[in-house]
Structure 1
Amino acid sequence: AGTLPSIARINGSCMAGGIGLLCMTDLAVAADTVQFGLPEVKIGLFPMQVLSLLQRIVPRRTLREWCLSGEPFGAAEAKEAGLLNHVVPADALDAKTQWLLERLTDKSPTAIRRGKYAMRALEAMSFDEGIAFTEGQIALLAGTQDAKEGLASFNEKRRPVWTGR
């Protein structure tokens, strides 16, 4: 979970527990040649712990097919199922990962930290609980130095200088 965004950069193959690690990241970029799979059923096991992570990301029918068949699938299918943000040719993997990273590093560390906390907390809440929770989070975030700096930089038409507070 952590307070910093995490990006998976996937090249080669991503199987079994590797998919579990992938599920724990915030964003993911894979080469179009990557093979994914949950082969546990082929050796008399089942991807139990990975299942607990995947069920929040992948559509139910797709997940069942992956778990019950144990057959590998490609990067395009993984992206279509919501497991990846981007699929690129292998020779563009580093550049796309860097591009994604640069889209995050100029943002408020405070907003990202509080946002990641809120996203985790909301997973266990009903809609009504979530609305009440996020109202409080908006108020809390609005009082931070980063929020004040963000508004000032917008009004002054300049880049923000984040303090992380």
Structure 2
Amino acid sequence: MADDSVILEKKGAALWITINRPQKRNAMNGDVIAGIANGYRMAHEEASVRVIVLTGAGEKAFCAGADLANAGAAFSMDFSKPNGDLADLMRLSQNATKPAIARVNGVCMAGGMGLLCMTDMAVAADNVIFGLPEVKVGVFPMQVLALLQSIAPRRLVNEWCITGEPFDAQTALGAGLLNHVVPAAELDSKVDWLISRITDKSPTAIRRGKYAMRAIAAMSFDESIAYTESQIAILSMTEDAKEGLKAFGEKRKPVWPGK
């Protein structure tokens, strides 16, 4: 399943979404955004898909941001539409109920940082360089901020956005942008390891859990505790919860119905 810009490939229980523009450092254009969105939708339509992996083709870039070869197109807007395509992709990712992993194989800049922040977990090669260089071309990482502000410390976000200067993988790890940093040669094995730690767990618990995490993000404590109180009661009635408790009592691995 492929087009010129994005490759969608099912590997076991994972759907891999690969930006396929290595000659352009996997820069985003309209086709890339549409292809990633299509991958997210496909993953949710296929019950056998348990996790999404988002990455870039080649070894040099995860995503270098918007394709600036035609700067007018990169920052143009159809003002008759209330929403932009990248903003809609971010909305789609945040409402997703299947987990996503960023496999950061190379440079991750500007809009690429937005793609990184869309995912639930991230593994990066130790030679990757990150950054938000938009101020160098007279703009600002506006849409990236919508996700970044809830992940990284405010002081670091301020520095990255205002100076536009790059930073390394260890800094990204310390800031909470990444879960793991490994040598480039170990990147795929670490991603596979993380996938395996997801796919042996209850798909129903993860699906409903991600839904709840999204719902309570903007709630006060009193609102969120009341909401989650009702959610755990509902979750306990699912077939996965019944199987999990039964398997625990019988000292065996659960066989998840996914219901």
Shorter-chain TM-score category?
A: over 0.9
Q: Which amino acid aligns with 1:30?
A: A
2:132 to 34, 38, 48: 38
CA distance in 2, matches of 1:100, 1:122: 25
**TM-score, structure 2 as length reference:** 0.63
What is the alpha-carbon distance in structure 1 between the residues aligned to residue 215 and residue 115 of structure 2?
20
Distance, in Å, in 1 between the alignment partners of 2:244 and 2:106 is 40
Q: Does 1:96 align with 2:190?
A: yes
Cα distance per residue 1:131-154 (max 9 Å; x no partner): 000000000000000000000000
**CA offsets 1:34-64 (integer angstroms, 9 cap, x no match):** 0000000011110011011100001000000
Does residue 68 (structure 1) correspond to residue 162 (structure 2)? The answer is: yes
1:48 aligned onto 2:146: no
Larger relative strand fraction: 2
1:74-130 per-position Cα deviation (integer Å, ceiling 9, x unaligned): 110001000000000111100100000000000000000000001101101001111
Which 4+ stretches in 1 moved above 6 angstroms? Answer: none
Match of 2:106 among 12, 15, 40: 12
Taking the aligned partners of 1:77 and 1:23, their CA distance within structure 2 comes to: 15
Q: Which runs of 5+ in 1 are unaligned?
A: none
Which aligned pairs between 1:64-143 and structure 2 lie closer than 5 A?
A: 64-143=158-237
2:250 matched residue in structure 1: 156
Q: Structure 2: how far apart are the matches of 1:115 and 1:13?
A: 32
Residue type of the partner of 1:17? G
- Hey, what's the Cα distance between the residues in 1 that align with 2:221 and 2:257? 33
Larger relative contact order (Cα-Cα within 8 Å, sequence gap ≥ 6): 1
Q: What secondary structure, in the 3-state scheme, does the structure 2 residue paired with 1:4 have?
A: coil
Give the TM-score, by structure 1 length.
0.99
Distance in 2 separating the partners of 1:72 and 1:11: 16
User: Greater share of helix residues, 1 or 2?
Assistant: 1
Unaligned runs of 5+ in 2: 1-93
- Distance (whole Å) between structure 1 residues aligned to residue 255 and residue 105 of structure 2: 35
Quote how far apart the aligned CAs of 1:12 are.
1.2
C-alpha RMSD of the superposition: 0.6
SS of the residue aligned with 1:63? helix
Shift of 1:3: 1.6
What amino acid is aligned across from residue 25 of structure 1 in structure 2? Answer: T
d(CA) in 2 for partners of 1:163 and 1:55?
A: 37
Letter in 2 for 1:14: C
